[in-house]
Amino acid sequence: MTELAPLCCGVAARLTDGREIYPRRTDLHHKLIYKCDRCGAYCGCHPGTTKSLGTPANSETRRARSDFHDQVFDPLWKTAVITGGYTVRDEREANRIRKAARNRLYVYLANHLGISRDDCHTAMFTIDHIRRATEILKDVTYLDIRAWHRALYRSKGKAA
């Protein structure tokens, strides 16, 4: 099944590969990438598929997305095992906690950005989304997110 190409500049982006985008990086030549021929923005695909990882982005947006992940988003969920008040027995359990923490963080962010969880992924964010998300998460700890998530699910009558 062929995936729909993401839109950029009002038209579908063109599917290409890493040879065009990263000519000097032979290790990336095999990667499938959607590129907008109007503005040059691009985004990768999920491995082994033509499903876009997000929306095409120019260099400024790609840098902002990367910085947001490295400096704001990832530190929150990656340290959840330590900062979330958990007692962890083994690495398998720690990985399960980190995976749940990442999803909870996206649910929290989607709620506070006023967008659906399906639309809440850094690879889909604009510069404005990144600014807003950074502000939302500025003084938030993972323990805050965990407590928020518990309260949300209690109010919906579900187990957290």
- How big is the chain by its Cα radius of gyration, in Å? 18
pLDDT digits (tens, 9 = 90+) for 109-160: 999 999 999 999 999 999 999 999 999 999 999 999 999 999 988 877 665 5
Task: Domain 1-56: give its CATH architecture.
Answer: Single Sheet (2.20)
Q: List pLDDT tens digits, range 80-121.
A: 999 988 999 999 999 999 999 999 999 999 999 999 999 999
